Amino acid sequence: MWNIAIIEDEEAMSNQLVSYFAKFGKENNESFSFAIFNNAETFLKNYKKEYSVVLMDINLPGMNGMECVKKLREVDETVLVVFVTNLSQFAVDGYEVKAFDFVVKPISYYNFSLKLKRALSHLSSLNNYELVISTKDKKYFININQLVYIEIRNHTIIYHLVNEEIRGSGTLKSLYTNLKKHHFAFCNQCYLVNLAFVKGIDDGYLLINNEQIRIASSRKKSFMQELTAYIGEI
């Protein structure tokens, strides 16, 4: 799921943008969640590093959108920002604050969809979104640096992230093929763990994220080799 922040003081425009996202989602099998702010100050006060895209109007009451993004860059240098603006307003300043793109008012769905598709394609190519998890009705783009371990339980794949769990489908074998290069290893046939989160080993158990996971005797040698190789790289 893509998390979208919309900073727009006109309710009609906010509603139009949300409807465009909904239409795009249906057409492209994507899902979105929204946080909507009507001024820059409230957005900055409540900002969390969880947004995929920040859609920022430039003409805002109080602090304008350009000044807001300048302050945003002090706490988050990488979040993708798309300005909503009149073409004449968007000049060199937009690039100085690392804006990804701009959408010109009045906004047509065709133009909006082209811009959004470009933005999501860019995000999907980043390492922050190495793993795509598809469930029955949603698609999640997971930062593998937040993925602690994956287990299979009752024929269900469970992705254990730092702050949540996601249940999906697939096989650990196919996941290992994709994640091995990112330092994931089997400690037993039901658990694929991120070596970056291993804090120690105690009496045949991994200490990982305040949990203990058994190391199978059949996997011990290969697991220790992968763990040792990983430690040698960091």
User: pLDDT at residue 92 above 50?
Assistant: no
* Rounded Cα gap, residues 157 and 178, in angstroms: 15
Which domains, ranges and CATH numbers included, belong to the chain?
Answer: 2-125 (3.40.50.2300), 144-233 (2.40.50.1020)
Summarised one tens digit per residue, pLDDT across range 5-57 is: 999 999 999 999 999 999 999 999 888 999 999 999 999 999 987 898 999 99
Rounded-to-integer distance, Cα 176 and Cα 170, Å: 11
pLDDT of residue 89 exceeding 60:
no
For residue 61, cis peptide bond before it (omega within 30 degrees of 0): no
Instruction: Please state the pTM of the whole predicted model.
Output: 0.56
- CB of 144 closer than 8 Å to CB of 130: yes
- pLDDT above 90: residue 157: yes
Per-residue pLDDT tens over the stretch 185-199: 999 999 999 998 898
Other residues' Cβ atoms within 10 Å of the Cβ of residue 47: 19
CA distance 37 to 102: 18
Q: Distance between CA 164 and CA 191 in Å, rounded?
A: 17
